[in-house]
Structure formats: C-alpha cells, structure tokens
A and B are shown apart, each in its own frame.
Chain A
C-alpha cells in the first residue's frame, strides 16, 4: 500500500462543475502539498498546509490531521484546470516529499 493515496485516478468534468480530489496518507507529516502539473510538464505548487483550510481563487484545500486526509476542491471548473493534480507530504523525519500517484483531471467545455 502506498504511503500517499489519491482518488480518483482520473476525473472528467463539464465546465462549471464542482470538483473534489481526495488524498489519504499513512505517515506522520510536517506538511501536505497540492501540486499541479500541466501537459507541458511544469509543476506548480498550489498549496502547502499543515492544518485547517486554505483558499486561493477557485481552489480550496483542506486537511484533517486526525484522519490523515486532505481534499482539494475546484469550484466552477474551467477547461484550463485540466491537469494532473498531485498530493505530496513532507514526512516528519526528512525534507523529502512522498508523492501520490496523481489525479488526471479533464474539464470539457
């Protein structure tokens, strides 16, 4: 079993839909990261959080430390949101990131 699990692996949505991507982890963490990777390959850090909730534009990230679970929400999705979304955690002992397998999102107009 992977230390960081994401679901779903693939997600298709119509423009305007509300989207949720889930991430569960089984290790002790210092922080959890949500990353976005576009088809060109570049990776953008969307959020880093260790508790509670963060919002940036149409994106919202939440984390429940007790349940070892995080969610990324996209409100009013748009075709430009199409990308791979990756959940990663910074484990307690090292600076290394442990990555989930990613969620491939396609938003159709």
Chain B
C-alpha cells in the first residue's frame, strides 16, 4: 500500500505562536497533496490543494496568509499555522495522491490545541 506520515501527531501551542505540520509520503511520489481540517463529529473540510513545485490552491474562506502550505518535494508538504488562535484548534489531516490516480492516501492526522 501507500503510506503517508504526519508529524507531529499532536501539538499544544500558545496563542500567537506558529506551528508547522509535516506530511510525508513514505513509499510513493505524491504530485498532489491535500490538507483537511476536521472538527469533532464533523466531516473533513478541504483547506487547500498543493502540487509539487507550485503554489497551493486554497478553498474559499481559508486564509492563505494564516495557513501557509509548501510542497517542496514529491514526498513532503508542510502546513504552517501562523499566529495560532484557540479557534484554530482542530484535527488536521493530509493526504497524498499519485499522478493520474484518483485515490488519496491519508496521513494519521495532527491534533492541534491552541491555548
């Protein structure tokens, strides 16, 4: 199968600080990576789509200056939550997609708590 890892799996940070979450495809090249957030008992909400080597495409309502996404290589994408606030506390999940495939392989998620 295809494995995607995320780091860290959980993080607690103080309001106003920035947090970086890494998403790695371990055994395949992910030309496209997706970032989602999920609130308790709700479905996943797509935040942005990133393609290797180009700027991410953000969904409506997602602040690109607040949620910085970098897809620097075919195996690594990062999401940086800048100037985090308590309302940014959520479960963040990434997924990777191979070229010419519809299948997405999901990471285990990162639980962010902003105090």
Q: Which residues of A contact B (CB under 8 A)?
A: 30-31, 33, 35, 40-45, 48, 86, 90, 95-97, 99-102
Residue of B34, B38, B103, B108 touching A45 (CB-CB under 8 A): B103
A59 to chain B, nearest CB (A): 15
Interface string of B35-63 (1 = CB under 8 A from A): 00010000110100100000000000000
Q: Which residues of B contact A (CB under 8 A)?
A: 32, 34, 38, 43-44, 46, 49, 91, 93, 95, 97, 102-109, 111
Can you list 22 A-B pairs with a CB-CB distance of less than 8 A? A31-B102, A33-B103, A33-B104, A41-B38, A41-B91, A41-B111, A42-B106, A42-B107, A42-B108, A42-B109, A43-B95, A43-B106, A44-B106, A45-B103, A86-B43, A95-B32, A95-B49, A95-B97, A95-B102, A96-B49, A97-B44, A97-B104
| Residues on A with beta carbons closer than 8 Å to the beta carbon of B38 | 41
- Given A95-B49, A96-B46, A97-B46: A41 touches B105 (CB 8 Å cut-off): no
Residue of A42, A44, A48 touching B102 (CB-CB under 8 A): A48
Which of B46, B104, B108 has the most A CB atoms < 10 Å from its CB?
B104
